[in-house]
A = this chain, B = another copy of it.
Amino acid sequence: MVGALMKVHVIVMPKQSVLDPQGVAVRNALKEVGLDTVESVRVGKFLELEFRTPPSEMKLEEVCRDLLSNPVIEDYTIQYHSTADS
């Protein structure tokens, strides 16, 4: 029933300089279950936003910086997709 929505993916990852205990835990767990060639794991957030009408890139950058990520500890990347079907 949804019209053609504009889909935006925002990926928020911990900065390299920030230690990521969850990533370490996952890595150890993977080794446990036999994926022993795993070097490193980092765990971040994946946000899937759907818009009725596309927001301005500037505005989007702004909310990614101010709300969706915390520049002290995280970096973000934005991926644009035209329609709702991923």
* Residues of chain A having any CB pair with chain B under 8 Å: 2, 5, 11-13, 26, 29-30, 33-35, 37-55, 59-60, 63, 66-68
Q: List 16 A-B contacts (CB under 8 A).
A: A12-B46, A13-B46, A26-B68, A30-B67, A33-B66, A35-B51, A35-B55, A37-B54, A38-B49, A38-B50, A39-B52, A40-B50, A41-B49, A41-B50, A42-B48, A46-B46
Q: Please give, as numbers and ranges, the residues of chain B lying within 8 Å of A40 by CB-CB distance.
A: 49-50
- Inter-chain contact B45/A46, CB cutoff 8 Å: yes
Distance in Å: Cβ of A32 to nearest Cβ of chain B = 9
Given A29-B67, A63-B35, A67-B30, A45:B47 Cβ within 8 A: no
Which residue of chain B lies nearest to A27 when distances are taken between CB atoms in the complex? Answer: B49
**A37: chain B residues within 8 A (beta carbon):** 51-55
